Amino acid sequence: MTKPSLSVKDLHVSIEEKEILKGFGIEVKGGEIHAIMGPNGTGKSTLASALMGHPNYEVTSGEATFNGEDLFEMEVDERARAGLFLAMQYPSEVSGVTNADFIRSAMNADRGEDDQVSLMQFIRKIDEKMGTLEIDQSFQHRYLNEGFSGGEKKRNEILQLLMLEPKIAILDEIDSGLDIDALKVVAKGINELRSDDFGCMIITHYQRLLNYIQPDFVHVMMQGRIVKSGGPELAQKLEEQGYDWIKEELGIEDETVGQ
């Protein structure tokens, strides 16, 4: 089996006529973990949303391929069934739909009629993953994200990640709002997935998460594109010195995507 891959070239994305991503490129392969860092408002969530197919974001130029296929030709659900996953910074709440029903429907979405996950298999797996993530069993029967605390929503995103086992995952600030114990637990869950069949883009503001999930590459985003890439030591340096030295080095005054 060939390794999964997500390849993005010169991506431009607008929201409400305003260009946010301005020539973003990256190549993520199975077995690799990429950390994407960068100050607020530099387009990180925009990138994640556009790749998943969020209806509010318009791809104006550039390309993205997922395992060789044109990502932007696929509907949101097709992207997901092909193996792309986005843990959202602000996941929606859906009243009246239990977490367990939802996750089971999602697991069965890319399976044929006679290949559906049985209730027993499902229960065994969700019990195990909830154990790993130290999520209380009662969350299976709660309505999807409804009334979940910030940290509980994040954990629930990771629960879905572990249940669905995608090929490439984008995790948008999965660490913000997590207490230190939860951070370790979530990192452990993600590390369980590490293999040549799984690639990951971790959007984060903090070095802390990267202490638990060692990245292979660290990229810094400013003004809607990657302005600097390096190894784990780059994250370390950002933690210690902030972003100013990069701005100076590159002669950037306003790092956001501008008005």
Ligand X SMILES: Nc1ncnc2c1ncn2[C@@H]1O[C@H](COP(=O)(O)OP(=O)(O)OP(=O)(O)O)[C@@H](O)[C@H]1O
Q: Interface residues with ligand X (CB under 6 A)? A: 15-16, 18, 20, 40-46, 256-257
Transcribe 194-254 into DSSP letters: -BTTBEEEEE-S-HHHHHHS--SEEEEEETTEEEEEE-HHHHHHHHHH-SHHHHHHHT-S-
Q: Which one of residues 9, 29, 54, 205 is an interface residue with another protein (CB under 8 A)?
A: 54
**Cα distance between residue 167 and residue 160, in whole Å:** 13
Q: Which is nearer to ligand X, 16 or 181 (CB)?
A: 16
Question: Is 106 a residue that touches another protein (CB under 8 A)?
Answer: yes
C-beta separation of 130 from 140 below 8 A: yes
Q: Which is nearer to another protein, 100 or 246 (CB)?
A: 100
Locate 81 and state its tokens: 């069934």
Which residues bind to Mg ion, rule: CB under 5 A? 44-45, 89
134 three-class SS: coil
C-alpha 173, offset from chain centre: 8
149 three-class SS: coil
Binding piece for another protein, criterion CB under 8 A, among 8-16, 28-36, 98-106, 186-194:
98-106
CB of 121 to another protein, least distance (A): 17
Question: Is 250 a residue that touches another protein (CB under 8 A)?
Answer: no
Contact set with another protein (CB under 8 A) = 52-55, 75-77, 79-81, 85-86, 88, 91-97, 101-103, 105-106, 109-110, 143-144, 160, 164
